[in-house]
Amino acid sequence: MSAMRAPSQVSRDDLPKRVTIWEVGARDGLQNEKTVIDTATKIEFIDRLAVSGLSIVEATSFVRPDRIPQLADANEVMAGINRRPGVRYPVLVPNARGLENAIAADSKEVAVFASATDTFAQRNLGRPMAEQMAMFEPTIRAAREHGLPVRGYVSMCFGDPWEGFVEPGQVIDVCGELLAAGCTEISLGDTIGVATPGQVHQLIDGLVASGVAVDLIGVHFHDTYGQALSNTLSALERGVTTVDSSAGGLGGCPYAESATGNLATEDLVWMLQGLGIESGVDLDELVDTSWWLADHLGRAPVSRVAQAMGRRS
């Protein structure tokens, strides 16, 4: 019996007609791999993702090599990719030095990574949450002066492994600070995958009530507790049109042993297609890419859709 390669479509009038997928596999996904992936494979992975129809492929991060050895080849990756017309290749920058390196590598847009909790800020940034904007503001300002859009990632938006439930107001305050500093959009990160749909509605409603336009909000769900797709649908119901995901479900969470990583892009595309929502992605090409990378990693993709559809050849 052959696998179905596309879902039946039943559209809903209360959902967006089109969703932009922010593909994070080449950065957020690969940075969690313990075995260092060679530069040529990373470049081909990014190129394949772009060919599949993804309009945003986050390429790498300009961090210190000793912090994330997997991404030590950021310059080589940015120099080697085939920049397709109409495709955006944002990069993560932790500070002003990272921004300088990103600009030198001809990066056209960047992202910074903030925390919604004090403990994670201390562990990830080396400073309390109250001081993180002092670190980001010069970077954001310099990027905007160079004409670069800046995405503000906010981690631990729904739960924190040390602090537990995170109050929405705490997240809303950080998002407001990032936007006031010059960020052109924000991404709400469920870093340990504990959110449920009601929380998603609550936080997005709170952000909109605080004056944040819904088209500035993206969502970034991990699937640790199997809630990523339901949480994504919840965000779409509130008008969000940018969703982060990772080809094959690449990525993991170091704070939860059962974490299965980011929302898998294939699983997201299958749901979007079934709802009649455009994404521009060729699902067959995407699944082939995930299986291609799986061969390099020595394991099958985590994505349920990629597993169900299998290889075309």
Residue 62: what pLDDT? 97
Q: What share of the chain in percent tops pLDDT 90?
A: 87
Is pLDDT at 252 greater than 90 in this prediction?
no
Q: Is 157 a catalytic residue?
A: no
Structure tokens at 266: 């294939």
CB 178 within 8 A of CB 139: no
Is pLDDT at 179 greater than 70 in this prediction?
yes
- 194 or 256: which carries more pLDDT confidence? 194
Which H or E run contains 165? strand 164-165
- Strands 164-165 vs 159-160: parallel, antiparallel or unpaired: antiparallel
Q: What share of the chain in percent tops pLDDT 70?
A: 96
How far is it, in rounded angstroms, from Cα 249 to Cα 254?
15
Those residues whose C-beta lies under 8 Å from the C-beta of residue 306, and which sit 6 or more positions away, are: 248, 249, 264, 266, 287, 290, 291, 300
Mapped onto helix, strand or coil, the DSSP state of residue 242 is strand
pTM strictly above 0.85: yes
Residue type, 104: A
How far is it, in rounded angstroms, from Cα 27 to Cα 184?
20
> pLDDT for 116-139, tens place per residue?
999 999 988 888 888 999 999 999
Burial of residue 304 (CB within 10 Å: 0-12, 13-18, 19+) is middle
**Orientation of helix 197-209 relative to helix 228-237, angle to 10°:** 30
Exactly one of 157, 175, 183, 253 is catalytic; which is it? 253
What is the rounded average pLDDT of the residues 146-173? 97
> pLDDT for 7-53, tens place per residue?
999 999 999 999 999 999 999 999 888 888 999 999 999 999 999 99
